[in-house]
Amino acid sequence: MYPDDKKELQRIIDELPKPLRLLLDAELQAGNKIAEVGHSYPAPPVGAYIKLAKPISTKIEGVKDELIFIERDNSLYSEEYTDKNKRFFILTLPKLSTKEASGSKFLKHLKANSEKTTRKTGSRKTDSDSPLQRFKKSMEIDYEKWHDGIGYDIDAIRLASPTECKAIEKMLIQHSPRDWRDIEALTQIDTKNARDTIKKAIRDPNPAVRIAVARFAPKVVTYNERTRSIIDALQHAGIFYGLSQTLDEIEEYHPPQVKEALIEGLLSREGDVAVLFAAMLFYLYGAAEEPFDMKQRPFFLRFNTKNKEERVKVFIELCTKLNINSKNYLYPN
């Protein structure tokens, strides 16, 4: 969206972590302008981005070590500043003229598609790369691949020779620490060794790996194992450490025990996690058409509080809206 809604803009500015707020204030004082604000890529729905019209020109003393800077070269933006939590971002317009950026059909298409959380796979292909070389390159995970949920080059596995497949299988089985991408790729290889590795991974300490087993290879785990892995992730996983994959899985697989874990998490998990749980429950109970209904975001954000009384108050409101008996969770037997 564009910064016409002054109330919403101020709400986002007030939510900024201190280092980003100082950077924004300095830029505005130096004459920079806010070109756009939003809650889509690169920010998760519980965060936001503020896109400035000009490149960053100020330097803020005392917060240098608290800011993460990445220079981009794409059609969405050219500079990216965030902090260690990676929920809020200060961006700058892409290296196109303002006229080109606002009129580009390609840019509008990217912006529209960035509203949804989708997992992308693959890597750039060159004519000289063999399938094995392509796959090796795709295993090099940088910040963008990690943040965007980009998987390994699955097409390279399909194009690989039997000898290359064996080499890829060996790399995946020996890869440590294991990643959800390893599980997805192993399901494509589908040999006995690959299947055995996947079965063992249901006990992996990384919740993202356990969820990947349930998501990509549900037939190798029991109903109880699949359910338990999801509930465990709902209780312990962080937003960028398995929780987003868990919520993706819940869209399709949500037995009563999983719904119970989501409801309980509204009271027990961190505020930004409870926001996502509230949104998912609205979707599962038919009160929203998508897993995070942006139109109801102000209500969901009320869960992001450390004040216990406020959390209980909004919890009761949610239960009333979804016809859930709140007393069962507030006053358990």
- Give residue-wise pLDDT tens across range 207-243: 888 888 988 888 888 899 899 989 999 998 887 778 8
Is the pLDDT higher at 188 or at 240? 188
Q: How far apart are CA 314 and CA 300, in angstroms?
A: 9
Average pLDDT, the chain: 84
CA distance 212 to 245: 8
For the chain, the C-alpha Rg in angstroms (whole number) is 22
- Look at 4 and 319; give whichever has higher pLDDT: 319
pLDDT greater than 90 at residue 127: no
Q: What is the pLDDT of residue 333?
A: 66
Cβ atoms within 10 Å of 34's Cβ, excluding its own = 18
pLDDT tens by residue, 253-285: 999 999 999 999 999 999 989 999 999 999 999
Is 322's pLDDT higher than 50? Answer: yes
Q: What is the pLDDT of residue 285?
A: 96
pLDDT given at position 5: 67
Cα distance between residue 255 and residue 257, in whole Å:
6
Contact between 194 and 187 under an 8 Å Cβ cutoff? The reply is yes
Cα 153 off chain centre by: 20
Indicate whether 96 pLDDT > 80. no
More confident residue, 111 or 81: 81
* pLDDT, position 103: 39
Question: Which residues are within 8 A (CB) of 302 and not within 5 positions of it... i.e. 6 or more apart?
Answer: 310, 314
